[in-house]
Amino acid sequence: MALTLKSSAFKHGEVIPSKYTCDGENISPLLEVHGVPEGTKSFTLVVDDPDATGGTTWDHWVMWNIHPKVQYISEGSIPEGAVLGKTGFGKAEYGGPCPPRGSDPHRYFFKIYALDTVLDLPEDTATKEELEQAMQGHVLEETTLVGLYARH
């Protein structure tokens, strides 16, 4: 079974409910992980927006060392033992979709990676770029869930 990531809040390619954005409660949606590859020692999760203003991808959530037995990442929480890194907002926390008002819908990529290792990165300050560098050569499998959001 292939690694899959899904959410009961929205389906792949559909609109993310405002509850999970800066227009709502700004909490993370429930995520479900299935099909863990053999040899997985940890997961990393990155949520980013490649449609951000100025053509620079904006990081909304950066997390690593998620235990491989985690099947659900509960709404508004992080799994026990997981480590958060710094987002585009400059904080180590989930920052929901918040595109400029009136722009076309932005795409939000929820990416999970199964790794053959546990990472040693500084909590709260490591960036997505540092995480991606540390993951090189350790990714067993990855998958992406994409949600859309626009502010009117």
Residue 122: which domain range? 4-9+19-146
- How many angstroms separate the CA atoms of 47 and 87, rounded? 9
- How many angstroms separate the CA atoms of 33 and 31, rounded? 7
pLDDT recorded at residue 54: 77
Summarize pLDDT for 13-39 with one digit per residue, the tens: 999 999 999 999 999 999 999 999 999
Give domain status of residue 151, yes or no: no
| 127: CATH | 3.90.280.10
Give domain status of residue 74, yes or no: yes
Instruction: Give the pTM.
Output: 0.96
Angle at 118 between CA 115 and CA 122, to 5 degrees: 120
Give domain status of residue 128, yes or no: yes
Give domain status of residue 60, yes or no: yes
Give domain status of residue 99, yes or no: yes
Tokens of 95: 């920052």
pLDDT recorded at residue 118: 97
- How many angstroms separate the CA atoms of 44 and 23, rounded? 26
pLDDT recorded at residue 1: 77
Tokens of 86: 């710094």
Give domain status of residue 115, yes or no: yes
Buried b (16+ CB within 10 A) or exposed e, 7-42: bebbeeeeebbeebbebeebebbbbebeebbeebeb
Give domain status of residue 152, yes or no: no
Domain count, the chain: 1
Angle at 47 between CA 66 and CA 69, to 5 degrees: 20
